[in-house]
Amino acid sequence: MAHASVASLMRTIESLLTSNSPMQSLICDHREELCALCEKVSSLEVFVKNFEKNNVSRQMTDFEVEVKEVASAVEYTIQLRLTETALGVNKSIIEIIERGENKSIIGIIGSIVFQGISNIWTRRKIRKSLQQLANDIDHVWKESTKIQDKGKQVSKESLVHDFSSSTNDILNVNNNMVGRDDQKERLLEDLTISYSGELKVIPIVGMGGIGKTTLTKEVYNNKSVLRRFDVRAWATVSQQHNRKEILLGLLQSTIKMDDTVKTRGEAELADMLQKSLKRKRYLIVLDDIWSCEVWDGVKRCFPTEENAGSRILLTTRNNEVACYADTENLSLRMNFMDQEESWNLFKSAAFSNETLLSKYENIGKQIAHECHGLPLTIVVVAGLLKSKREIDDWETVAKDVRSFVTNDPDKQCSRLLGLSYDHLTSDLKTCLLHFGIFPKDSDIPVKRLVRSWMAEGFLKLENDLEGEAEKCLQELVDRCLVLVCKKSLDGTKIRSCKVHDLIYDLCLREIQRENIFIMNDIVPLYPDFPYLSRQKMQPFKRVTGDKINDYCRYGHYRALLTPVHRQLRDHDNNDLVKRTHSIFSFHISLLSPLLKSQLIYFKFLKVLELRHEIYNFPLEILSLIWLRYLSLLCLENFGIPPEICRLWNLQTFIVQGRGRSILIAFPEEIWGLMQLRHLSLPQFYLPNPPRVSADKGSHVGFSNIQTISYLSPRCCRKKVIKGIQNVKELGICGYETDLSIRDSGLLNNLVHLQQLEKLRIKHCFKLLPASEKAFPATLKKLKLEATTLRWSYLDIIAKLPNLEVLKLMRGACRGDEWHPNVRGFTRLKFLLIADSSLKYWKAINDNFPILKSLVLKECSYLKDIPIEFAEIHTLQLIELTRCLSELGESAARIQQEQEELGNNPVDVRISRPLRRDVRRLDID
């Protein structure tokens, strides 16, 4: 996939041109050449994206291979030349590292970093390299102009098939569906009983192989459906759709076809279809729709007047299509089969009418379980075993059932999953393949995923990078390629996700087939593993499956390398360390010093996760000037050195801490990281930003910052707040022993954060503002923990004009009575109270007018929810976890009261209720 390499190159050039990097003087001298190169690469990126979209053969063309290699070589050369210049060719740093003299590294770096910038010979060398790189890009661009459209478009005639056999197969299909009884009954009801009025559209959505078509065929041929409808017609749309083909497929069932019909144009065929359906109750099935445009192109053919009770069933892998076509909220989402359904389907497919022998049952259930509930996989594997009756054969399949499904590209399962992949745009393909980096079947935190997407250069540099990343993830979810594991409590955000095993295997195959990157593991085999040298990294060790537990006790790092390219010298191709652009960690190491002292060699790293615990900032990282994502794990307080400003590409900086009170101090130079978007640490101190100039009162700021946590409250001075004024999510953490700041009013400065939408405050005693006017009016989500506020303080929170989510965690409020005194929470939709001592709660009629969800967790003293909640017509959910049974009875009364008032009854969910005599000490 050439687009990934071109996009990565484009992001690197953009970062050079748009950032205030320490190499600005060098870049300025070559800005004209860089801008020209940027323009050419930008045009090439657009062309390659469209070219790959139209290339449905799944084979990389010679042109794509050349573009991929040229783009990778150009990016490598740019990074190499600028790194040589920035760090100099002086070997002092490496020599000092190898001798273990870490104490003097900062002084050495400070003296030689960027010394090459003033070197005239170096400037000429860079200019010559840029001119050569421009020539290389010119060459592939000229090649692109020679590419013609011939052979890329299938002739209209070849798309017109004989539909008699396929349609008749559907009409006469045997009833062989197993399971899905509830979904079948619901679908039959929607078709034959409910909604007897005007035309209804019922989308069936789910991933490839989930059983959408099988279920649809089952109801299509059901006796009640046959009796209900005057006309039934079925068209398989597929990815390479053609409107004429769809119309002919439907007409096959509505009129008497002859050869002359196939020669007519689309408009005439559409008119014929509409007339054939007029004044009839019809059932139309559009199987396997891939886009909203296809639906728009055919829906006008279906008459809506004098067609009472007519239905259209459409199946799709894309949730966006389902939502677009569904105007009545009738969508049916198909999920994976449970263990019993899987076994029943397996038995039916493997044995048909034969008697099941007991010796096959245990091994058969194991195989069915390994198919992970995907019907198509179950049927494919069962088909393999249908002719095999030796138990040894079954045991062989059981060892690795997935290989029988995915290794053969001709297998139907692989083809279906491959179709979903082929239909993605180039950038979505790259994002999906990134799931192959993570351990199989693991839940992946969304923040970690999308921030690594940004660091790898998958997404265009825009103001709302995070928004673009979320759109990409949601589109993959909508296409049923990514599974949502966990959502935020209010249901608005995806917190973690994963891919089905078959999709994961697809990712690994495509990564290897398209040679996008090489994925290798670095694993120390004992705690005293010697410092890793470049020689010892050849070859990398790859560890998968159960071996991880055996071999990775002291750490597990996964490195991503650029592939070998003909454009590069043998020396560069053989240097695995130089080709390494990302290092991920999936196993926390308590002992291993792996990589820490060797980082100086990884010149072109973009992503670095170090999960072995550290006691100070690894100074070797300061030479990694291309780093965009950095994650560390620390054990105690430490300071960040001033040379942190060398990491001018850094977008995400994460430090995870073992102890709750770890404090990390930043120098003033941190404000030089102009690309910084996410800053996440246990607690950190941020100094005032430096002035822009001595004559002006303005200060440097993080113009791209999106999230910050957890900032020390003593840093909430006006100058600091002004420096982070674009932040959207902010966390503040106290642990303050200095009583002098409690009355300082520092948090009043939050009013200057006019982009802030989400605020988390914890362990800040007596620090919150005394007026709602001190909070930004843009605030939508507020989470409080261990703030020991009086419940009456919530009268201030209630006045926040745009607050939609309020979470009161353990220790947020003290006291046992909450009596709101003001009309408030006018926009609140979600309220969580957790681990609270609240005992008496009263409300007035005007509180929470549009609340949707009330979640109470471990409220072990509260017995009643205010009965006024029954008057909230928007209330949809009351969820109780580890609360008294009396509270559940109170929720039931609210539910009953709502029914009596004519509202839709609230959904009450109760889990792990407490006994009446339980008290707080019993559950802590």
pLDDT tens, 272-303?
888 888 888 889 999 888 888 888 888 888 88
**pLDDT (0 to 100) of residue 263:** 77
Joined together, the tokens standing for residue 259 give 């050869």
Amino acid in position 232: R
**pLDDT lower than 50: segments of the chain:** 89-98, 100-118, 148-175, 408-410, 525-553, 591, 695, 918-924
Phi, psi (5° rounding) for residue 345?
-65, -40
Q: Which helix (H) or strand (E) holds 268?
A: helix 266-277
Query: In this predicted structure, what is the pLDDT of residue 57?
Result: 57
What's the pLDDT score for residue 174? 41
3-class secondary structure, 22: coil
The confidence score (pLDDT) of residue 122 equals 61
Whether 795 contacts 825, CB under 8 Å: no
Q: How many of the other CB atoms lie within 10 Å of CB of 588?
A: 12
- Whether the bond between 615 and the residue before it is cis, its omega within 30 degrees of 0, is no
pLDDT at 105: 40
Full 3-state SS string of 810-846: CCCEECCEECCCCCCCCCCCEEEEECCCCCEECCCCC
Degrees, nearest 5: CA angle 676-682-686: 50
* Whole-number pLDDT of residue 90: 39
Give the integer Cα–Cα distance in Å for 790 and 784.
12
User: Residue 704: enclosing H or E segment and its boundaries?
Assistant: none
Beta strand 877-881 with 813-814: parallel, antiparallel or unpaired?
A: unpaired
User: 569's torsion region: left (phi>0), alpha (psi -120 to 50) or beta?
Assistant: beta
pTM listed for this prediction? 0.75
What was the pLDDT predicted at 20?
Answer: 62
User: Rounded to an integer, what distance in angstroms lies between the CA atom of residue 917 and that of residue 396?
Assistant: 56
Distance CA 731, CA 708 (A): 6
- Under 8 Å between Cβ of 632 and 607: no
- The tokens of 174 are what? 């045997």
Distances (CA, A) of 578 to 39, 77, 119, 573, 775: 27, 11, 24, 8, 48
Which residues lie across from 557 on neighbouring strands?
A: 522, 585
The one-letter code for the residue type at 134 is A
Answer yes or no: are the C-beta atoms of 221 and 173 closer than 8 Å: yes
In eight-state DSSP terms, residue 537 is G
Q: How far, in Å, are 187, 229, 656, 902 from residue 312 at the CA level?
A: 12, 12, 53, 33
Alpha-carbon distance of 312 to 284, in angstroms, equals 5
